Amino acid sequence: MSQRQRRLVTGIILAASVALIATACGGDDGGEAPPPGEASGEIRVVSNWTGSEGEAFQAVIDAFEDANPEVTVKIEQVPFDQTQSLLTQQFAAGSPPDVSVALPGIIRNFAEQDLLLDLSQEWDDWVQDGEYTDVLRQIASADGTAYAVYFKGNVNALVWYSPKQLDQLGIEVPATWDEFTAAMDKAKAEGVAPLAVGGKDGWPLTQWTDPIILRVAGAEAFNQLARGEIGWDDPRIVESFEVFAGLVEEYFPKQTLATGFIDATCARAKDRALFQNQGAFINLIVPAECDEALKPGEDFTFFLMPKFDDAMPDAQFVSGDLFIGARDTENEGATRALLTYLASAEAQEVWAKRGGYVAPNAKVSPEVYPDANDRKAAELWPKSADVPAGYDLDDWMGGEIQVKYKQALAQFVRDTDVEKFIATMTRVDTRAGG
Amino acid sequence: MAPQHATATRAPREKPSARRSSRRSRRLERYAPYLFITPLLVIFVGFYLYPALVTVLSSFFRWGLLRPWSPAEPERWNFVGLDNYGQTLTDASFWNATLNTAIWLVVFPLLVAGLSLLVSILIWYLARGGAVFRTMFILPMTISLAATGVIWSLIYNPDPQVGLLNAVLDKLGILGADWNVGPLEVHTGAWLSDPGVLHLGFADLRLTNLALVIPAFWAFTGFGVITLTAGLTSVSYELVEAAKVDGANTWQVARYVLIPALRAPLVVVGVVSVIFALRTFDIVFVMTGGGPAEDTMVLALLLWQQAFAFLDTPQAGLATAIAVLLSVVMIVAAYRYLRQLLTEKPG
């Protein structure tokens, strides 16, 4: 290698090293959102809502820009399943979006690497004003520091159905677990598929396991499992999966793993299945994606999945979307202003009025929800710290355990082998020393 | 006369300036090739060689993508020796992905080479309309693999009111049929979740992988058709005529004249298809994401998952170990082709 070539290679290596080092440097500490309307500049926001939900989020951003005319917000939509990997790439490359949608698993990972804006001060005010509870603050925190704002709440374990179809089949709205399974038995006998499940997308399967764990094992065991304080071989968890196995064998459609979430939702909306267990967002998705003539509350509504054990206290299965701010943002003022706005009752009312949304901010008036379904779902949102709740298990765990949990669930739907499933999860999730 | 003759035969003496200019042009000639390849060399070193070296080196360390391994930061190195390789080679997910990749590796090149050969020979025999058929097979190549995945996901949709394939099977009355032939189980309908299994005793081959190979093959066959059709243009018409005069029928002409002439292009199609099969990612990512469970997980997708999805457990070292192993297999698979390329004499 000549002197010149050697110099060239050295130059390239140095340039690449500088680029790599640059990714690990930079940033600032703390700060406050500027007074309303005083932020300026351009910021980039990553979200993963499309279609009707994308339009609703755009409406929220438009309202922010109206209130902050000097700020321009550029929204980048990324597919839900790819959010984590895309954010990782952008944060690792040193060019993170100023604000991005995130789930608790990724919030903890990014917080460990000191990549996020500290929002503790804002949370102090919100909890003090009664806008949010400490339970919600914990979901947005890592190691006691708040790094995210709660923007979109969601209540799950809602069993969606058509009142007309139930009438035609002579089925009453189930209030107990036995009535729930009896209703599905009757539908089967009448030649109607008891359930619509979009297992191809992975996450709809966790919509089943989370409420079953909450109902069979209880909120305490659920939250211990989420935090790695107990293993998957805990008898309460094993029993939960035995109950789930029974449901899969008796009522899950044969095409569960081949059917996507939207296809399953529309199959239920068109009365090709009796029930669909999903979140509150179905209220927006059915008219938008399946048939706009279907009226929430009249043509489709929901009941809360009944208790499995009457002695077990109520526990609400919640989830939702949070937003984080990049510590390395070049416009901290506008970033904090947007985060503060997203957490406000004012911003959340914009989407709440459109439907298919549960506002996590307790100050949002129930009057703003457009129909009975949304109002009913919003009432289920835990507004005080003493309501037992479990946050979406796999979103909470995140990372490798989340991916392998969904893979193991797909296998479980196929073979309903509880022992094999528990062994797989014990091998994957070693946090409890399993 | 003599002096005149002497003057005529004596080489004309070069002027010193002409000598200098010819020396300069000889020097320029000597360095010109280097000058021409410099831009490419810079790109090669900066974007291929350096990342490749860093990839190999980083496979001996434990690190995650949020804090990338850097040769310039030895204080952050967490050297684990061959652990990443050991962990990879003892991981059931790795061997499952290897088995699925092996299905791609065998089936995909065979399908591409087989159909391309058939089509290109048929086109060669066609008196007219060859261009139309060539275009038909080449057109899918213009569609991105991600889009191909979306199109075929619709074709495979289990609902016969949406999925074309199941609509046809429904009309034929064989939707949802189960067939068991020896070790082979086939179920019609759930093409992307459970179309069946081939029980080999030591392993179960999931037929879902074949449901993914077919769209890739549909999109890629055009490459084989172009390459082999081009190869057939070199077949001398006299040779074919001579074979016909000797009594060879159409099949014998194809078997003994055309196919032997296609040996080199077939190697190219085979090797490129093998490399394509080894690095398959996009179509699997779009259509099944490696699922259900890990039924269609291939090595490239597993690598991506290790690097980008497993953030909580820094696994990028494992991902680079898979990348290195995959590269070794690719180099071995492409060895014959590469040797042919490197030893080929210009002109």
CATH number at residue A134: 3.40.190.10
Instruction: Give which of B311, B313, B318 to mutate to test A binding, by max A Cβ within 10 Å.
Output: B311
Instruction: Give which of A106, A265, A400 to mutate to test B binding, by max B Cβ within 10 Å.
Output: A400
Q: Report yes or no: B313 at the A interface, CB cutoff 8 Å.
A: yes
What pLDDT digit, counting tens, does each position of B142-165 carry?
888 899 999 999 999 988 888 999
Does the pLDDT of residue B247 top 70, yes or no?
A: yes
The answer to whether residue A95 is domain-embedded is: yes
* Domain extent for A210: 158-278+398-428
Mark yes or no for CB contact A17/B193 under 8 Å: no
Q: Which of A249-253, B4-8, B87-91 has the lowest mean pLDDT?
A: B4-8
Does the pLDDT of residue A28 top 60, yes or no?
A: no
The answer to whether residue A410 is domain-embedded is: yes
Beta bridge partner(s), residue A304: A158
Which of A386-390, B239-243, B332-336 reaches the highest mean pLDDT?
B239-243
Q: What percent of chain B has pLDDT over 90?
A: 39
The answer to whether the beta carbons of residues A352 and A359 sit under 8 Å apart is yes
Same-domain pairing of A266 and A409: yes
**pLDDT band, very low/low/confident/very high, at B263 (cuts 50, 70, 90):** confident
What pLDDT digit, counting tens, does each position of B7-25 carry?
444 555 556 666 667 777 8
How far is the CA of A279 from the CAs of A91, A158, A170, A184, A318, in angstroms? 30, 6, 25, 20, 9
Mark yes or no for CB contact A84/B311 under 8 Å: yes
Chain A: give the shortest CA distance to residue B295, in Å.
9
pLDDT confidence of residue A24: 32
Same-domain pairing of A270 and A404: yes
Matching residue, tokens 């010193």: B16
Mark yes or no for CB contact A407/B294 under 8 Å: yes
What pLDDT digit, counting tens, does each position of A263-292 carry?
999 999 999 999 999 999 899 889 888 999
Q: Report yes or no: B133 at the A interface, CB cutoff 8 Å.
A: no
Tokens of B103: 């299905």
pLDDT confidence of residue A37: 64
Question: Residue B293 is nearest to which of A9, A256, A410, comparing CB atoms?
Answer: A410
- Span B293-305, average pLDDT: 91
Mark yes or no for CB contact B190/A254 under 8 Å: yes
Does the pLDDT of residue A363 top 60, yes or no?
A: yes
Mark yes or no for CB contact A89/B294 under 8 Å: no
Mean of pLDDT over chain B: 86
**pLDDT band, very low/low/confident/very high, at B99 (cuts 50, 70, 90):** very high
The answer to whether residue A32 is domain-embedded is: yes
Same-domain pairing of A145 and A166: no
Does the pLDDT of residue B5 top 80, yes or no?
A: no
Tokens of A294: 């279907």
Same-domain pairing of A127 and A144: yes
Mean of pLDDT over chain A: 88
Chain B: give the shortest CA distance to residue A184, in Å.
22
Q: What is the 3-state secondary structure (H, E, C) of chain B?
A: CHHHHHHHHCCCCCCHHHHHHHHHHHHHHHHHHHHHHHHHHHHHHHHHHHHHHHHHHHCCECCECCECCCCCCHHHCCECCCHHHHHHHCCHHHHHHHHHHHHHHHHHHHHHHHHHHHHHHHHHHCCCCHHHHHHHHHHHHHCCHHHHHHHHHHHCCCCCCCCHHHHHHHHHCCCCCEEEECCEEEECCCCCCCCEEEECCCCEEECHHHHHHHHHHHHHHHHHHHHHHHHHCCCCHHHHHHHHHCCCCHHHHHHHHHHHHCHHHHHHHHHHHHHHHHCCCHHHHHHCCCCCCCCCCCHHHHHHHHHHHCCCCCCHHHHHHHHHHHHHHHHHHCHHHHHHHHHCCCC
Q: How many domains does chain A have?
A: 2
Q: Which residues of B touch A106 (CB under 8 A)?
A: 311
pLDDT confidence of residue B347: 42
Question: Residue B293 is nearest to which of A17, A110, A407, comparing CB atoms?
Answer: A407
Domain range B95-156+191-343, CATH architecture:
Orthogonal Bundle (1.10)
Same-domain pairing of A223 and A201: yes
Same-domain pairing of A363 and A405: no
What pLDDT digit, counting tens, does each position of A99-157 carry?
999 988 889 989 988 999 999 999 999 999 989 988 889 889 998 999 999 999 999 99
Report how far residue A417's alpha carbon sits from residue B70's, in angstroms, rounded to the nearest whole number. 44
Same-domain pairing of A108 and A64: yes
Same-domain pairing of A408 and A363: no
Mark yes or no for CB contact A259/B189 under 8 Å: no
Name every residue whose Cβ is closer than 8 Å to that of residue A371 and which is 6 or more positions away in sequence: A283, A295, A296, A297, A355
- Span B178-203, average pLDDT: 88
Same-domain pairing of A345 and A414: no
**Domain residue spans of chain B:** 95-156+191-343
Report how far residue A72's alpha carbon sits from residue A42's, in angstroms, rounded to the nearest whole number. 5
